[in-house]
Structure 1
Amino acid sequence: FASATVLLLRSAGLPARYAVGYLVKEYSPLEKRYVVRARHAHAWTLVWYDHAWHEFDTTPPTWVQSEEKSASLLQPLFDFFAWGVFKFTSGWQHDRDRISKYFWWLLIPLLIWSALKFKLISRAKSWVKQQPRTNARLIAPGSDSEFYLIEKMLTDRGLPRLPAETLSAWLKRIAEANLDDLFDFKKLETALNLHYRYRFDPIGITPAERLDLKNKIDSWLKSERMREKIIAPRYRAAKDK
């Protein structure tokens, strides 16, 4: 949210910054201090107006409750143990003789914590083993698009996509490599737009557009196979001369 807000504000002509920090809200009565955890990390926006920087947070406030749900049920025990270790190590430097008398008593929380952790891990492993396994895989929307057949054809011709290269950038790169005599890219523009919508648009495409995408790709593949049989030998012969 913060990154998108910064970009939107800057595009609107307003100076904006990306700020990071922590939300300090959890108070520990045991330590009489505020506790800052990793899940309290947050990002927000600073926007400049009226000759000053102002905080502007567009993240939904429910993120705090969502992060709290991820906390372990044993968090109070972990906090108590961490507090005990801190008190022991800090006090050890000042009064080693007195604290050494109670050293074995301090091991009791550690033993309890270790036993509980072992029991919880054993139960978790047992529960996982009892769960039915499934080979079902999540299918990404648009992964069955016929446009990937074009990618396979061009890859087989020695023109693969580069890592992290988009389809449009890839086809443009091939077009700029003076291979227009072999490949007709203009017919792919509409099909590529339909593919992008089918692949990434949450609304998707209509059944008629889905059929249109398939027909356009099939037509392009057939024409390219014919062009390859006719033009490619001439192109190679001219290149050899």
Structure 2
Amino acid sequence: MSYSGHWHWDYRDGRVAAVAAAIVYSMWTLEVLMPGGAAGQGALADPDAVFGRFLDSAHRTGSILVVLAAVLGLTLGARRTGRLLTVSWWSMAVFGAASFVASLLPGRCVVSTDVACASEALGEGVGGATAAQPVIATVTIVAALLGAVTLALDRRGAADPAWVWVAALAALQALAAVAVLVLAVLVSGGDGDPGVALGFLERAHLVTVALWLLAAGVLPGPWKRSRAARPPVAVGR
């Protein structure tokens, strides 16, 4: 990128933002480094813990990166953007925006997309829990799944060999999403505890979300611009 005295956004910035967001949504794995984290999983159940506050801030930053990647994908990505890819970018934008809103709502759920924690906290009347939290968390799950599925379909239509891997990822995310939503229904009545730690299903879903964001940033197809679509170069008289 040449320097002309002003900052210019480039489609490569979008790719970097998507990859960075994938890393952020994988930061829950750092819990194993916390004292007792691997066994008790207490850090991800307590928003007042240092790691809980860190992860909450990280997810807020990650949601902003997701929105940035989606906006740059829509504006500076592939010039000839098909309908499926457009839906994928918009789904990514909705996922990021909903995640950001969820991270701002009060409550004791550390991960903004943890609909199971939000449902249980609401059912038990935990202070700060609102009906909007499980709804918004559900929106994030559905938006992420739609983004992954449409990305896979777009890559298949473009005869991209990577579509098989994206499709497999979308299938795994679908399984994880359904499992998490079922868990949210099961715990919506509460079990006497003031919330739930991030369990296996929620962790598995976060893995698929991170892989989806990684694929969106790494794959060149959604960002590749055809020569015919490039703006004409100004020529001096």
- TM-score past 0.5 threshold: no
Larger radius of gyration: 1
Q: Which has the higher contact order (CA 8 A, sep 6+)?
A: 2
Q: Which has the higher strand share?
A: 1
Q: Which has the higher helix share?
A: 2
TM-score by length of 1: 0.29
TM-score by length of 2: 0.29
